[in-house]
Structure 1
């Protein structure tokens, strides 16, 4: 057989390219259609009819029902939306609202919703919503959402977001944190507060502060400060604009409802990746109890009550999936599963 001419060879190549492109396009369309079907199908979790569009919705329309609010992570049409379960029945039917958040915290009055607003240009925001999901205030974020809290009396909010890097395990990450009054001015970024460790000022350019937890005193809060590869539990004073280190090796603190203890995560390993566990500090005795959690916990702990802590935990065998677990704060027993397919819990008592 005579060899193909140049034009014939180009014809063969062109036809082959068209066939390959068509196959790739068909595969892409099929994959996208399958993704849409996965997103649209029911999640498989037991849900109840929402009484309203916001955090007031749970097991009916009673806004004063004690409940746990969280980000629903069950695959399906409700993925990423704020949900709630009664405090008396955490594994029962969940109410899913029409509010979508990447990180959430709530009280009876307000909800803080940290969002990634995807579009032609991706933006990030910290949105304060009322109980019906209506926007009250909004602040732009410099990057990926991290942590948020609301004071028990619903007068103060805090929010943190990464400036560079994508997680706390990233070397050289930078993070910005603010405290704001719901009906007043912002305190500015906490990086502007004066940081003192061991009686000496820390002014290094790599200072980071995040993970605020509010006390019953509107002027006093606790947070994490970091510099030079070290982290500290710091006590903040809003009026004096100061941060004073009170303990080494603490991240993402959360004060107990009675104000006597602080739960937090602490590093237990840095090889091959950073691993954290949960610990609880007694503020009166300075004694620390480590929770017997075998998995790495990268979350800001929440208190279910004065004797129990809860936190989100990623599933090691299922990328992107997460659950909320609970454990006695005295470390007396192993953690137990509290809410399946959930993240970023907030307890409304």
Structure 2
């Protein structure tokens, strides 16, 4: 019986050439199709209307995280307070969460390399100086005092959602001039006038009063969230009311807005404004679940971020709603997130 037929070197070459040509053709077709798709996707993207930072820097403005799905996704942007839907000035900083006050810009960011790292940086937009402050986990909440002297950061150190029951957070307040930081868990917590030290306590979502001493914050323990009021000089935090998260003080300091939990399992929250003097709560005319620390546009209107729907889920938008429970919500800034008003 004869053995298998042996091909000559020339025959082998002749056999390989057609296969190689097929492979090369397939690669060329793939490249051309991919390029066509990219060209179509690029042409389909809206053109972002921009302006130089000098046109709005120093003037009343709203600072946001740009979420238009294009090359500038995630960058910090500024729009004029009197023209929020108009052109935006893009900064070079890319942030997961941003806040601004005076000439300071607080940027919480993630670097998703082989090992994900996190950073919190306060940039002075006038001098270009940068101050690093503590951030030990994934970015969650960011706040500055009105004069830009204090910064507060909240990060998830375990879990990744306030809707979960097993998350853990770390909230730190930093005095930028001295770079001295205070972990809120090191302060004394009082509930009903009695000092307590629950091992499961978590703090998140600071909002500062104008005196750079008092603040409001969420504290959770025993499965219940509380609105709490703290003071840095005394190192004391007192609970105020229950079922309140992510507070935000009005510019005049008379009201505090926060989210109240609806269905805990589904993570639904409704926006509420509380009169500080009377404790009266008013539910706002926003029926969607808002998982955000809201911002005050002025003393009568609230800003907050909501994700888009369907294929536009990544393109979050900033909405506005009256703070008196009347009216209805409307979109203020498209393709934006994490608003901060600099008056």
The bucket for the TM-score relative to the shorter chain is 0.7 to 0.9
Structure 2 residue runs of 5 or longer lacking an equivalent are 1-23
Provide closer, same or farther for how the CA distance between residues 42 and 238 of structure 1 changes in structure 2, counting only shifts above 3 A.
farther
Give yes or no for contact 2:102–2:146 (8 Å, CA) kept in 1: no
Aligned residue for 2:82? 88
CA separation of 1:48 and 1:244: change in aligned 2, threshold 3 A: same
Are 1:204 and 2:198 matched, yes or no? yes
> What TM-score do the two structures reach when normalised by structure 1?
0.85
The match for 1:19 is none
Root-mean-square deviation (CA, aligned residues, Å) is 3.0
SS, match of residue 185 in structure 2? helix
1:290 correspondence with 2:283: yes
Deviations 1:240-261 (A, max 9, x none): 2111001111100000000000
Provide the rounded CA distance (Å) in 2 between the counterparts of 1:296 and 1:116: 25
Is the radius of gyration larger for structure 1 or structure 2?
Answer: 2
Decide whether aligned partners of structure 1 residues 28 and 146 sit closer, same or farther in structure 2, where only a CA change above 3 A counts: farther
What SS does structure 2 have at the residue aligned with 1:78? coil
Deviations 1:20-58 (A, max 9, x none): xx9xx999989997998799779515422323xxxxx4x
Which of 296, 300, 306 is equivalent to 2:299?
A: 306
Indicate yes or no: 2:216 matched with 1:216.
Answer: no
- What residue number does 2:13 align with? none
2:167 pairs with 1:173: yes
CA, structure 1 residues 163+133, in 2 after alignment: closer, same or farther (shift >3 Å)?
Answer: farther
Equivalent positions of 1:228-267 (< 5 A) are 228-267=222-261
Q: Is the 8 A contact 2:103 2:126 kept in 1?
A: no
Unaligned runs of 5+ in 1: 1-21, 52-56
Return the alpha-carbon distance in structure 1 between the equivalents of residues 37 and 261 of structure 2: 37
CA contact (8 A) 2:133 2:174 kept: no
> Is the CA contact (8 Å cut-off) linking 1:46 and 1:92 kept in structure 2?
no
Say yes or no: does 1:225 pair with 2:227.
no
What's the secondary structure of 1:253's corresponding residue? strand
| 2:124 corresponds to | 130
Change (3 A) 1:224 1:159: same
State the Cα distance separating 1:321 from its structure 2 match. 2.2
1:152-163 pair list within 5 angstroms? 152-163=146-157
